[in-house]
Structure 1
Amino acid sequence: MRWKHRPEGSNWGEFGPDDELGRLNLLTPDKVLQGVAEVREGRSFCLSLPLDYPGGNALNRLRHPPRRFTSGRGDKLNYNFELQRINPAFTDVVSDDAVLLYTQYSTQWDALSHVGALFDADGDGVAEPLYYNGWRAGEHIRGPAGHEDALEGVNAERLGIEKMAETAVSGRALLIDLQKHCGHERVLVDHARLQQIMLADGVVVEPGDMVCLYTGFADVVLGMGRQPDAKTLENSCAVLDGRDPALLQWISDSGLSVLIADNYAVEAYPARDGGSCCAALPLHEHCLFKLGIHLGELWYLTELAHYLRQSGRYRFLLSAPPLRLPGAVGSPVSPVALV
């Protein structure tokens, strides 16, 4: 057993001692069928930003836009390459390209190996760096030995994003329209405010549902044309108040399988002051570390949200598998909603 004690409020062990899926276990065949039942018009919506948005690194100085390039073919580049150079009888013209990609730059999933916490799970009085279900940093989620080999030895042998991909991440989802009630102002949404909005719109979350939050933040990002202004972004649109214990308890009690937003981190970052003993990202800690709830960030929900408003609906079928990239702690995603 990797741990003797689990964090307060966590579900470690409830899906098995070696579980790596967390609340995705609730995304059952029945939830898929419930999602399929929401497809009435055969319309589909792309829920991803272009991969080169937001542009620059104003949102996160450590993440940069994709860099595209191609390989060489002899003394030429393998782009608009005429195969007549190989054989005069050939008429083909071919192009290949490659990309250097930060996996969490644009529309993305967080793997459960993305955020862990210091916690004394073995009862020896010393907090260890751990991830969901007690998987250990340095052993199960390995990083580089030092800065000089930052590209070597990086691998989440447990809780990698490929575990999420293998489930296909498809089923019934719902949208909570924060932008409709909060506008584009920077607003901290606590449990009470969230419940008011859900009650007003008749939104009900059932176990296994995938929950999307539309705030309008992606609209602000797109409006900047890959030239984001950090101050504007920091002061735009609704964010969940990760310091609100009632909100965190609702996430636990609701049984939601994943939590998605069109903003940078789902929750406010930086969070409200929590003193000297708390996580910088309390909702990330609660979801990824304690409950095994994958987080989706920077999704494009605008067209879907407007359709749902006009049609008086809030549920839809969502299919959103990440890249099946073994050992990655996050992944771009091109989600599709069907109604």
Structure 2
Amino acid sequence: MSKKVVTREDLKSAAEEFKNWGKWGDDDEIGTLNYTSPEDIIKASQLVKKGKVISLALNFDNNGPQGAKSKYPSMGRINPVHTMLRTGTDAYSGVLDHRGIRASDDMVVMPLQCGTQWDGLGHIFYEDYMWNGYDCREVTSAGAQKCGIEKTKNKMVGRGVFLDLPKVKEKDALEDGYGITCKDLEEAADAHGVEVSRGDFVIVRTGQMETKLKEESWDGYPGGDAPGFSFETLEWIQDKQIAGLASDTWGCEVRPNESEEGINQPWHWITIPIMGLTMGEIFYLKELAEDCSEDNTYEFMFVAPALPITGAVGSPINPLAIK
């Protein structure tokens, strides 16, 4: 059976069906992060039983996925460029002793979405609009005047729920081009003994990143074919009222896209500007998968605040699962 092709009419219908504009007020700039309540955070803290902290981030260095070969353009992103401003060699030589202290210092130049990261609500537009109906021209060369990532700096903390799809399907990884369905998500939650609730942060493993790491090549990863969320999962996301969603792929949604020519990343068109969903990409999930399999616990306290870079439309992060 052939896959349904998402058309512009489908996008228009989805935009009307899943629109959250005005739900938290006409001046809202953080979208679904509003779903997480103070009580949710207190309950999430009570999930910590063994004091184990698991990072879900790749290291930020020149071995990252950007710039790898891909049949799709990856928007010119590069891996981080780390430069030393002062070094131990400088200290040893004494050239900076006139400062009265020996130290090192450094800097980094990087796209904010080159590694493990959040997509902010100023990242994707639906036609001429961004989240909550703001004009897309609110994002200028000076940054996002609305929905800048700094508006979220007290958020991205709550209950994390891990859905390990390859484990449930008894595979090492989902195949490139596999569209994750609502049924897949429900079956994984049932298999793991968890229920996705309002205000949760849902982390979904496809296994694609681990495949690339085993191959010791990122070719095909940035902008390439990938397993990911199908267009139909918009309904699941809206019904569950989750705060955020993340995965181990470059762009979360299935690639090749399920859309007609001229529409790139149709799921993004709806999730970010229409729903107001904060989305995480390039999450490293191998260690979390191993730990959850070992203790059969697929919920945890999740802490992953964005860097409050004023006007930014995304942010590098070091997400933590605390069990």
- Opposite residue 320 of structure 1, the aligned amino acid is A
Matched, 1:51 2:48: no
Change (3 A) 1:93 1:185: same
1:19 aligns with 2:28: yes
Q: Which of residues 277, 283, 286 in structure 2 aligns to 1:299?
A: 283
CA drift of 1:273 comes to 3.1
Instruction: Supply the AA of the counterpart residue of 2:270.
Output: H
Closer/same/farther in 2, CA of residues 32 and 88 from structure 1, 3 Å limit: closer
RMSD, aligned α-carbons: 2.3
Q: Which residue of 2 aligns with 1:258?
A: 244
Identity %: 29
Q: Which residue of 2 aligns with 1:100?
A: 109
Structure 1 residues 336 and 93, CA, compared in 2 at 3 Å: closer, same or farther? same
Question: How far apart are the structure 2 equivalents of 1:41 and 1:231?
Answer: 35
Alignment partner, residue 4 of structure 2 = none
2:49 is the counterpart of 1:40: yes
Contact kept? 2:143, 2:311, Cα under 8 Å: yes
| In 2, Cα distance between equivalents of 1:169 and 1:292 | 14
Quote how far apart the aligned CAs of 1:202 are: 2.6
Gaps of 5+ in 2: 1-14
Contact 1:24-1:257 within 8 A present in 2 as well: yes
Count of aligned pairs: 298
Q: Aligned runs of 1:126-275 on 2, under 5 Å? A: 129-138=128-137, 140-142=138-140, 153-164=141-152, 166-182=153-169, 183=171, 184-186=173-175, 187-225=178-216, 227-230=217-220, 234=224, 238-242=227-231, 244=232, 247-274=233-260
Tell me if structure 2 keeps the 8 A contact 1:176–1:203.
no
Q: SS of the residue aligned with 1:313?
A: coil
Shift of 1:154: 3.5
TM-score, L = length of structure 2: 0.85
**1:302 CA drift (Å):** 1.4
The residue identity in structure 1 corresponding to 2:102 is: V
Alpha-carbon distance in 2 for matches of 1:316, 1:65: 30
Alignment check: 8 A CA contact 2:52 2:322 kept: yes
With over 3 angstroms needed to count, the CA separation of the structure-2 counterparts of 1:134 and 1:235, relative to structure 1, is closer
Query: Structure 1 residue 332: deviation in Å?
Result: 0.5
Alignment of 1:107-126 (within 5 A): 107-118=116-127
Counterparts of 2:193 and 2:248, CA distance in 1: 21
Question: Is 186-195 or 25-34 further displaced after alignment?
Answer: 186-195
Q: Aligned pair in 2 of structure 1 residues 69, 232: CA closer, same or farther (>3 Å)?
A: closer
Q: How far does residue 136 in structure 1 lie from its aligned partner after superposition?
A: 1.0
In structure 2, how many angstroms separate the alpha carbons of the residues matched to 1:334 and 1:230? 24
Name the CA distance, whole Å, in 1 between partners of 2:254 and 2:147: 25
Question: Any gaps of 5 or more consecutive residues in structure 1?
Answer: 1-5, 72-77, 119-128, 143-152
Q: Is the 8 A contact 1:177 1:214 kept in 2?
A: yes
1:85 to 95, 100, 104: 95
Once the two structures are TM-superposed, the CA of residue 234 in structure 1 deviates from its matched residue by 4.2
For each residue in 1:206-229, what CA deviation from the matched residue of structure 2 results, as whole angstroms up to 9, or x when unmatched?
10011000111221233344x422
Describe the shift of the 1:117–1:79 C-alpha distance in structure 2 as closer, same or farther (beyond 3 A): same
CA contact (8 A) 2:149 2:312 kept: yes
